[in-house]
Chain A
Amino acid sequence: MISFEPTEEQKLAQSMVQELAGSSLRAAAREADDHAAIPASILAEIWSTGIVQSQAASDSDGGSRSAILNALLIEELAVADAALAIAAAAPMGFASAIATLGSEAQKKSLLPLFTGEKYHCAGVAIMEPDFLFDVSAIRASAIKTHNGYRLSGKKGMVPLANQCSHFLVVAECEGAADAFIVERGAKGVAVGGKQPNIGLGALQMANVSFTDVALESGARLGGASRCDVQRIIDSARTALAAIMTGISRAVFEFVMPYTKERVVHGDALAKKQVIAFRLADMRIETDAMRWMTWKAASILEHGGDATRQAQLAYSYAVEQAMWIADEGVQMLGGHGYLRDNPVEMWYRNARTVSVMEGAVGV
């Protein structure tokens, strides 16, 4: 039955994360971007929300894994800062892929990594550092060997690559996409230096190369049978749509009071129709983006085929979030161009997030 009502627990979690995001996380964002590093204390605050740990909760002990809840909370984190949201959504993507698609052995050995006291990261490595990369044509490849696989290829834009204990690498195997669990320390795995990008500097994104990495057969996600790799992509697109919704909301909430205060030609900027209408459109599109994300998340949560909706939610968010961030800068005029204000960072983050496919999940 059609309903937009979060559960009481979801509302509680949402308001708790919103409060944390609005206070310490938003305050830490600029410095983290400038220094290309997230302080351990901030990672600890993110960890304290329990959002990553919930992915590892097993169904038998009243597992609380919910793609809808994840989308709600990722949006709240992204309102504070997209990079910090990804610091949560990256290990979430890994853990939820293991929890939904992994074999019993894989769940048993990997999920506990995310239940400890300290922040723990692992990466979903889909994107490759080639122009015109597309998820439909993965170049990384895994060749079947007598006792497992041999993986070679290069992955790019892996958040906190240096801190990841494992990578879930999507690679082509015997003609189709497959996913492999690889330890960072395995022979042949090389985490490159941090690749500065337009945005998301705090995540120290890096390339990771795999050169003839020997994997046991148990490294293949799902074990004996090939896993539904498309679901990992659907989950990533949904999480990215949630992040873009958060960025959009941040822009909208920031520029609105500015336009009411700023006086141009004798009146508040917000009283000029073109500005007022753009704000109205920001509101329309942020709402629409959110519902699209929720719908994709709800299909994922119920185990349905979310591919179409995840694609539509993602594509819609890509277009609208970039427009909103762009107009947000414009509304602040010269001030929008200065790093003294956050909109230029949100503009950079919007462009960066909106070209990603992978790295995160709900």
Chain B
Amino acid sequence: MIDFELTTADKEILALAHRQAEIGRRYAEYYDKHEDELPPAEFPEASGLDNPVSLAEEAADGSSGPRILHSLVMSEIYWGGMALHRGKWGLGNTVLKTVATPEQIEKWKNHTIAIAITEPGAGSDPANIRTTATFDRETGEWVINGEKSFISQAQSADAAMVFSRFVSPDGSRGMTTFLVEKGTPGFSVGPQLKKLGIRSHDTCNLLFDNCRIPEFNHIKGDFKSTMSVFNDSRPMVGAMALGVARAALDFTREKLGERGIKISYRGGLRSRSAVADRFIRLEAAYEAALLTVLRSKWLEQRNAAPKVEASIAKAAGGKAARKITQSCIEILGPEAVSEEHLLDRCFRDGRIFDIYEGAGEIQRLIIARAILGYTARDLR
């Protein structure tokens, strides 16, 4: 039956996540101003506290489901700006689990693996990557050269899942993935990137300079299966974007309230001030995008992660976060740009979600190809 009510079990988990997010917010402010410091794996306040992500993933009967809850928990975490329990796994782990052999999965089952696709010259178009692995027949090793950029969990991860071109002993070429462990000679991590926002996030470039790895580290997956890991992360990014957007909306509503402006939903357009009307439209954009995230996660719970709906959720969430974090500042006026207040960080953090993990344009390409029945060659 069509329903949008959270269950009691849902609310309990989300309330717990929210309480932790309130604590996380203070750390978010600190690390926003100390971008070279890596936040700890767990904050002192977290010890003894349940990890809301784990609670969501274990969600039993009586909840709206683990995938839905996970996305709502992520939204809460991003509302605060800093998770008290840092996620152990990276997207590289998902790739491993999806395409690697049982032996490979066993070997690296406890490693945090960052995913390394993007390069300075290749973001939206992974086909443009230049990192190349050449096979050395004498030593039976692959020799990797290249640079990866904007790599999340770069410093904290134990290894990187590196997307690379390859040149085989028989001369064949293609694209593949390699797992490279930290400490491998020739593999270095650059300094923390200087970003507009999400400054607390561990983001660096990775350098591969004649980095030698054994054949065992060759993770042979077909490109399509490997890229499919993004089908469940896309709506997640939408949820994260909306967490930041909601933080901006909550702050703005509070400040409006302090000046005696209470938003009424009863009247029509002509009954409200420009400020109230703008705010209502931002709330509508938020709610609409959130529903596309829930739709995608609901479908995922019933079946496999849906491609089109996942891209819809990512595109809608990313767009809403941009619009909302920008517009709340306009509504509240010049005081809102002060670094002393929340909207500064929301504005800067909010801008990333339509860019990373598949820019909004790429999501629209995916959606358009699907609805038009076009291949990548038909529609570029």
Q: Is A283 an interface residue (CB 8 A)?
A: yes
- Measured in the bound complex, the distance between the Cα atoms of B10 and A357 in whole Å is 35
Between A and B, 10 residue pairs with Cβ closer than 8 Å are A2-B10, A270-B368, A280-B315, A280-B371, A283-B371, A287-B292, A291-B292, A292-B284, A295-B4, A315-B281
Q: Is the CB of A288 within 8 A of B265?
A: no
Q: Report A-chain residues with C-beta under 8 Å of the C-beta of B271.
A: 134-137
The answer to whether the Cβ of A149 comes within 8 Å of any Cβ in the partner chain is no
Decide if B103 is an interface residue (CB 8 Å cutoff): no
Q: Which of A334-349 contact B (CB under 8 A)?
A: none
* Pairwise interchain contact A281-B287, C-beta atoms closer than 8 A: no
B361 at the interface (CB under 8 A from A): yes
Which of A107-115, A212-220, A271-279 lies at the interface with chain B? Answer: A271-279
A316 at the interface (CB under 8 A from B): yes
Chain A interface size, as a band, is 35 or more
Asked whether B2 lies within 8 Å of A3 as measured between CB atoms, the reply is: yes
- CB neighbours of B288 from chain A (8 A): 288-289, 291-292, 312, 316
The docked-state distance in angstroms from the alpha carbon of A277 to that of B361 is: 8
Say whether B364 faces chain A, with CB atoms less than 8 Å apart.
yes
B positions within 8 Å CB-CB of A: 1-7, 10, 63-65, 68, 265-271, 280-281, 283-285, 287-289, 291-292, 294-295, 298-299, 308-309, 312, 315-316, 361, 363-365, 367-369, 371-372, 374, 378-380
A313 to chain B, nearest CB (A): 8
B267's partner among A135, A270, A283, A298 (CB-CB below 8 A) is A135
Q: Which of A4-12, A38-46, A94-102, A162-170 contacts B (4 or more CB under 8 A)?
A: A4-12
The answer to whether residues A284 and B2 also contact, given A134-B270, A270-B379, A316-B284 and a CB cut-off of 8 A, is no
Chain B residues whose CB sits within 8 angstroms of the CB of A137 once the complex forms = 271
> A311–B265 contact, CB under 8 A?
yes
List of B residues within 8 angstroms of A352 by Cβ: none
Q: Is A1 an interface residue (CB 8 A)?
A: yes
Known: A270-B379, A277-B361, A284-B367. A2 touches B294 (CB 8 A): yes
Measured CB to CB, the nearest residue on chain B to A311 is: B265
Please determine whether B266 and A283 come into contact, CB atoms closer than 8 angstroms: no
B368 and A2: CB pair below 8 A? no
Contact between chains at B266 and A230 (CB < 8 Å): yes
Chain A residues with CB under 8 A of B365? 273, 276-277, 280
Partner of B287, one of A259, A292, A298: A292
Interface centre among B268, B299, B361, B369 (most CB of A within 10 A): B268
Q: Are the C-beta atoms of B372 and A135 separated by less than 8 Å? A: no
Q: Known contacts being A5-B1, A136-B271, A283-B371, is A312 close to B265, with CB within 8 Å? A: yes
Which of B6, B284, B316, B361 contacts A284 (CB under 8 A)? B316
CB pair A283–B1 under 8 Å, yes or no, is: no
Q: Are B3 and A2 in contact (CB under 8 A)?
A: yes
Report yes or no: B298 in contact with A271, Cβ–Cβ below 8 A. Answer: no
Minimum C-beta distance from B192 to chain A (A):
34
* Closest residue on chain B to residue A275 by CB atoms: B368
B355 → A minimal CB distance (Å)? 16
CB atoms of B284 and A256 under 8 A apart: no
Rounded to whole angstroms, the CA-CA distance of A7 and B287 in the bound complex is 24
| A132: Cβ under 8 A from any B Cβ | yes
**Cα distance A131–B312 when bound, in Å?**
38
Query: Cβ of A134 and Cβ of B268 under 8 Å apart?
Result: yes
**Interchain CA distance A287-B312 in the complex, whole Å:** 9
Q: Whose C-beta in chain B lies nearest to the C-beta of A252?
A: B371
A2→B292 contact, CB < 8 A: no
**Closest chain B CB from A286 CB (angstroms):** 10
Complex formed: what's the CA distance from A276 to B283 in Å? 28
- 18 more A-B contacts (CB under 8 A) besides A1-B10, A311-B266? A1-B5, A1-B7, A4-B294, A4-B295, A7-B1, A135-B271, A136-B268, A277-B365, A281-B364, A283-B367, A284-B312, A284-B315, A287-B312, A291-B292, A291-B295, A295-B287, A299-B4, A307-B266
Judged by a CB distance under 8 angstroms, whether A68 is at the interface is: yes
Within 8 Å of chain B (Cβ to Cβ): is A262? no
- Chain A residue with Cβ nearest B297: A2
A359 → B minimal CB distance (Å) = 14
Partner of A311, one of B280, B316, B369: B280
| Closest CB in chain A relative to B89 CB, distance in Å | 25
Asked whether B284 lies within 8 Å of A271 as measured between CB atoms, the reply is no
Determine the chain A residues whose CB is within 8 A of the CB of B4 once the complex forms. Answer: 2, 294-295, 298-299
Q: Taking the complex as formed, is A55 at the interface, i.e. its CB lies under 8 A from any CB of chain B?
A: no
CB distance from B245 to the nearest CB of A (A): 14
State the CA gap A19–B226 with chains docked (Å).
41
Q: Mark A224-250, 1 if CB is under 8 A from B, else 0.
A: 000000100100000000000000000
Check A277–B312 contact: CB distance below 8 A: no
Residues on A with C-beta less than 8 A from B63 are: 1
Instruction: Provide the residues of chain A in CB contact with B374, threshold 8 Å.
Output: 270-271, 276
CA distance A68 to B5 in the complex (A): 14
Q: Which residues of B contact A133 (CB under 8 A)?
A: 270
Select from chain B the residue with minimum beta-carbon distance to A357. B268
A18 within 8 A of B: no
CA distance A319 to B294 in the complex (A): 22
Structural contact, B2 and A4, CB atoms closer than 8 A = yes
Contact between A3 and B266, CB atoms less than 8 A apart: no
Contact present for A316 and B285 (CB under 8 Å): yes
- 8 Å CB contact of A2 from B269, B298, B308, B378: B298
A309 contacts the other chain (Cβ, under 8 Å)?
yes
State whether B266 touches A288 (Cβ < 8 A). Answer: no
**Across the interface, which residues of B come within 8 angstroms of A279, CB to CB?**
368, 371-372
CA distance A3 to B291 in the complex (A): 11
Asked if A276 meets B295 with Cβ closer than 8 Å, knowing A68-B2, A134-B271, A292-B287, the reply is no
**Which of B266, B287, B291 is close to A233, meaning CB atoms less than 8 Å apart?**
B266
Verify if A260 is at the interface (C-beta below 8 Å from B).
Answer: yes
Q: Name the B residues within 8 Å of A230 (CB-CB).
A: 266
B287 touches A309 (CB 8 A): yes
Chain A residues within 8 Å of B361, by CB:
277
Which residue of chain B has the shortest Cβ distance to A315 in the bound complex? B284
CB distance B364 to A280 under 8 Å?
yes
Q: Which residues of A contact B281 (CB under 8 A)?
A: 315-316, 319
Q: In whole angstroms, how far apart are the Cα atoms of A276 and B6 in the complex?
A: 36
Q: Say yes or no: B368 contacts A280, CB within 8 Å.
A: yes
Chain B nearest CB: distance from A22 CB in Å?
19
Among residues of A, the one whose C-beta sits closest to the C-beta of B9 is: A1
**Minimum distance in angstroms from A130 CB to a CB of chain B:** 11
Q: Which residues of A contact B64 (CB under 8 A)?
A: 1-3
CA distance A281 to B367 in the complex (A): 9
Q: Which residues of B contact A1 (CB under 8 A)?
A: 3, 5-7, 10, 63-65
